[in-house]
Structure 1
Amino acid sequence: MAVTSCHIPSISSHRVNPKTTSWLHGSTRLLTTPSPISTTFRRLVITLSSKSASGLARDQQRELLEHYGLNPDEFMSEPSLKKKRRKEQGKTGKGNQQIVPEEATPPRETHRLLQVLGGTARRKKLLSPKGMDVRPMMEVVKGAAFAILQAAGGRPASLRPGCWLDLYSGTGSVGIEAISRGCSEVHFVEMDPWVVSDVLRPNLEWTGFLDVSSIHTVRVESFLEHAENFAGKNGAFDYISVTPPYMEVDYGVLMNQVANSSVVGEDTFILVEYPFRTDMLDTCGSLVKIADRRFGRTNLAIYGPTWAQKKKKKSESS
């Protein structure tokens, strides 16, 4: 309801249209207050109802206001504040909760900061994502890891031929280094589709190793649990690299899953990168710890068969 009060010239000379008068009895009331004869203005109080029985009611209200020289736009009732709030809440949800559009995710970018350290693809640059969403193994750590593996395998100049499993592969730099140094086949396990399509696969194409590589875009836990379905029934891998994001895994749970998986055999070598102040067991299944090195806040552990310990010590002493 809207109540309008205003001064207008005396309306004693005007007669109200009977049609308008009958309509006034329906949804509008016209009240005039008595005034002295000497007064040239009378107070007109018009109460307009927002409810109407037909679509003509608002037109009739406008006609009445115009009849008395008033501007209808100034006096026509507007939806109440409560109605406006209910209407807005119906669009935005309950209460004051509003649907905020999601900001567009900026495109991810790459750069070439990594390189292959040894073997047939030596000094070839590799792509890696900008930012910290993927953290490749430092070159000093990677160089030390392959030096230890080659010495433990009895071939200091290169790796023994075999099949490598690169878990949490990311850029693929570890698996690519393995192929470059003598490995015959590598299985890469990386769950991020963008990293696979824009980083890992281009690196394999650039180094020419795509034909001897298999890419598995799955979680590491799923791969280990169903390794035979992913890698076939060819037995255990000769080498396994485990380079997870430090803060997203429980190393005790992870290494237990690796040790009990079909990917590990009696002659398997396992390379594990882990953060400072993390307890690593001296064994992984039937394998023993061959080396445990620290590089700042990064540690490197290598497990292998007992016979590899003797070869590694013999190679280092000669």
Structure 2
Amino acid sequence: MRVIAGSRKSLPLKSVDGMNTRPTTDRVKETLFNMIGSDLDGCIFLDLFAGSGGIGIEALSRGARTCYFVEKNKKAANCIRDNLNFTKLADRGILQRIDVKQAIENFSDELKFDFVFMDPPYHQDLEKDVLTALMKSDNITPKTQIIVEASLDTDFFYVRTLGFEIQKEKKYKTNKHVFLIRR
């Protein structure tokens, strides 16, 4: 695992040992960031279920002003901290070792996210719970791009009832990215 592009291009990143996290592959990460492109310059990025921090660190390397990393698992949070220090991005990364829904409730109302990326554990229906919390949050605006990494069989039939609209969906061999905005 490495940083694909930007100011920290090619720097290797640690990943969390064990099967509790699934680091996004370099190829999928590159496709994702090619899709969101230049919109990262100066943005505020939120990485939920951050794992090793690879997505948020990629966003910082490509020009995000700040990234908030939310990761409850202690080993994963330590890995994020190590990766931020190694890449010298710790001054722009804010790590919160807390439950995702609790983090969303605790953010200051003045904080507005440009991008929210979430990669929850598969097959636990956490996507709906988190999207419900995000919909109630003042941190999400109609311009906020929400990106969910999910298994191919995850169904997002409910998003319109929550007040979101699917803009696009990109499928890979084993998973997909679903891009949502507030309606």
Work out whether the TM-score is over 0.5: yes
103, 108, 111: which one pairs with 1:223? Answer: 103
Which runs of structure 2 are paired with 1:78-97 in the superposition (5 Å)?
none
Q: Distance between the aligned counterparts of 2:163 and 2:5, measured in 1?
A: 30
Q: Tell me, what secondary structure is at the counterpart of 2:14? A: strand
74, 84, 102: which one pairs with 1:193? Answer: 74
Question: If the length of structure 2 is used for normalisation, what is the TM-score?
Answer: 0.90
Residue number in structure 2 paired with 1:206: 86
Question: If the length of structure 1 is used for normalisation, what is the TM-score?
Answer: 0.53
Residue pair 2:168, 2:180 contacting (<8 A) in 1 also: yes
- The Cα RMSD (Å) is 2.0
- Structure 1 residue 117 displacement after superposition: 0.7
Residue number in structure 2 paired with 1:175: 56
Relative distance call for 1:283 and 1:140 in structure 2 (3 A) is farther
Q: Distance between the aligned counterparts of 1:235 and 1:271, measured in 2?
A: 18
1:235 correspondence with 2:111: yes
Which runs of structure 2 are paired with 1:1-318 in the superposition (5 Å)?
114-150=1-37, 155=38, 159-197=40-78, 199-228=79-108, 233-281=109-157, 283=160, 287-304=164-181
Question: What letter matches 1:170 in structure 2?
Answer: G
Residue pair 2:120, 2:126 contacting (<8 A) in 1 also: no
User: Number of residue pairs matched?
Assistant: 182
Gaps of 5+ in 2: none
Residue number in structure 2 paired with 1:39: none
Deviations 1:175-207 (A, max 9, x none): 00000011000111011122222x111100111
Question: What letter matches 2:129 in structure 1?
Answer: V
Residue pair 1:271, 1:303 contacting (<8 A) in 2 also: yes
- Structure 1 residue 247 displacement after superposition: 3.1
Deviations 1:143-192 (A, max 9, x none): 12111112xxxx3xx62321111100110000000000110001110111
Q: Distance between the aligned counterparts of 2:63 and 2:162, measured in 1?
A: 26
Q: Distance between the aligned counterparts of 2:179 and 2:104, measured in 1?
A: 19
Q: Distance between the aligned counterparts of 2:106 and 2:19, measured in 1?
A: 30
Relative distance call for 1:147 and 1:286 in structure 2 (3 A) is farther
Q: Tell me, what secondary structure is at the counterpart of 2:23? A: coil
Question: What letter matches 1:250 in structure 2?
Answer: L
Q: Distance between the aligned counterparts of 2:161 and 2:104, measured in 1?
A: 15
Residue pair 1:141, 1:300 contacting (<8 A) in 2 also: no
Q: Tell me, what secondary structure is at the counterpart of 1:210? A: coil
Q: Distance between the aligned counterparts of 2:172 and 2:52, measured in 1?
A: 21
Relative distance call for 1:249 and 1:279 in structure 2 (3 A) is closer
Identity among equivalent pairs (%) = 25
- Structure 1 residue 258 displacement after superposition: 1.9
Moved over 6 A (4+): none
* Structure of greater relative contact order (alpha carbons < 8 Å, 6+ residues apart): 2
Q: Tell me, what secondary structure is at the counterpart of 2:168? A: strand
Residue number in structure 2 paired with 1:35: none
Q: Distance between the aligned counterparts of 2:179 and 2:52, measured in 1?
A: 21
Gaps of 5+ in 1: 1-113, 307-318
